[in-house]
Structure 1
Amino acid sequence: MLTGKQKRFLRAKAHHLSPIFQVGKGGVNENMVKQIDDVLEVRELIKVSVLQNCEFDRSEVAEELSTGAGAELVQVIGNTIVLYKESKENKQIVLPS
């Protein structure tokens, strides 16, 4: 579980990132969750955008992605979701305590 201070730190880091996944009409599927999990192992912090034609609520999508990938939900702002998961192999981000 992330503290408020850690979430603030991660939000600042994520500000300059571009979304690398898009959730569209099909919603969240198993393949997408697997890909997001793999990318989180490499990058630790990613943005996912929810397209206008997505049939699901963005908070549902955020919950599904974070639970499926075992990641922390940092923020849902507009149609963008920010996810964080500490890498096992190549840790880059050092969270404030």
Structure 2
Amino acid sequence: MTDKLTTQEIAALKARAHHLHPVVMVGQQGLTDAVIQETDTALTAHELIKVKVAGDDRAERVAISDALCEAVGAQLVQHIGKLLVLWRPNKEV
């Protein structure tokens, strides 16, 4: 994984992500292999994505966020309610 993002980089990524819609949904089954694979595919295609996490337990959503970022080598840009913004630089650049 890359170095920690700077405050300016985070602000720029948040601005880019503002108009995006969630492309991955984490359902009641939680973090499955299919969700990890779909997240990896979406990050490869787009670098910056939104993920919607079902459930009302904030601690559980934070745990899912941490585990998902670890599994796909992404960085959490923002966590607002049930939405996560994930970023992973394109490996081909």
After TM superposition, the score normalised by the length of structure 1 is: 0.83
Q: Does 1:50 align with 2:49?
A: no
Report the aligned-residue RMSD: 1.6
State the partner residue of 1:8.
11
Q: How many residues align?
A: 89
Question: 1:30 — aligned with what?
Answer: 33
Runs of 5+ unmatched residues, structure 2: none
Distance 1:53 1:78, change over 3 A: closer
C-alpha displacement at 1:50, in angstroms? 1.1
- Provide the rounded CA distance (Å) in 2 between the counterparts of 1:62 and 1:68: 10
Query: What stretches of structure 1 move > 3 A for 4+ residues in a row?
Result: none
State the shift of 1:53 in Å: 6.7
Identical aligned residues as a percent: 37
- Deviation sequence 1:5-52 (CA, Å, 0-9, x none): 111110111000000111111000122112211210110000001123
Determine which structure has greater relative contact order: mean sequence separation of CA pairs < 8 Å that are 6+ residues apart, divided by chain length.
1
How far apart, CA to CA, are the structure 1 residues paired with 2:38 and 2:23? 11
The answer to whether the 8 Å contact 1:24/1:53 transfers is: no
- Which one of the candidate residues 67, 74, 79 is aligned to 2:77? 74
TM-score by length of 2: 0.87
